[in-house]
Amino acid sequence: MSKRILITDDAAFMRMMIKNILTKNGYEVVGEAENGAVAVQMYKEFKPDLVTMDITMPEMDGIQGVKAIRSVDPNANIIMCSAMGQQTMVMEAIQAGAKDFIVKPFQQDRILQAIERVLARG
């Protein structure tokens, strides 16, 4: 059975890009959220195996989103997506419970490596 992933990014283009990479490589995208608040709701509804979470989003940013999802499920697998130069926020996200991070612009290999590594660790 393919692993189920929830994509969270405020840019529809980025969500589409990640979705294409994932579906092409055998993952099932169960939902797309445009901010952390929507991601938390979708997480509760779909219980995905993994969440990709953008850091900078309106309404609820990625760090708040990580904390909220981890309060629902302490074992949640979350990978942060950040732009270059957001190291401080990435560190905050890791401390909040994110298990890995990928940097934009995305490279397919890096996305897949991060996902496989996090899912392998459980």
* Every domain of the chain and the residues it spans: 4-120
pTM: 0.94
Instruction: Please give the pLDDT value at position 86.
Output: 76
Within a 10 A sphere around the Cβ of 105, how many other Cβ atoms? 8
CATH topology of domain 4-120: Rossmann fold (3.40.50)
CB atoms within 10 A of CB 13: 8
3-state helix, strand, coil in the chain (%, to 5): 50, 20, 30
* 122 residues of the chain, pLDDT tens digit each: 689 999 999 999 999 999 999 999 999 999 999 999 999 999 999 999 999 999 999 999 999 999 999 999 999 999 999 887 778 888 999 999 999 999 888 889 999 999 999 999 87
- In angstroms, the CA 34 to CA 20 distance is 17
Q: Which two tokens stand for residue 57?
A: 């989003």
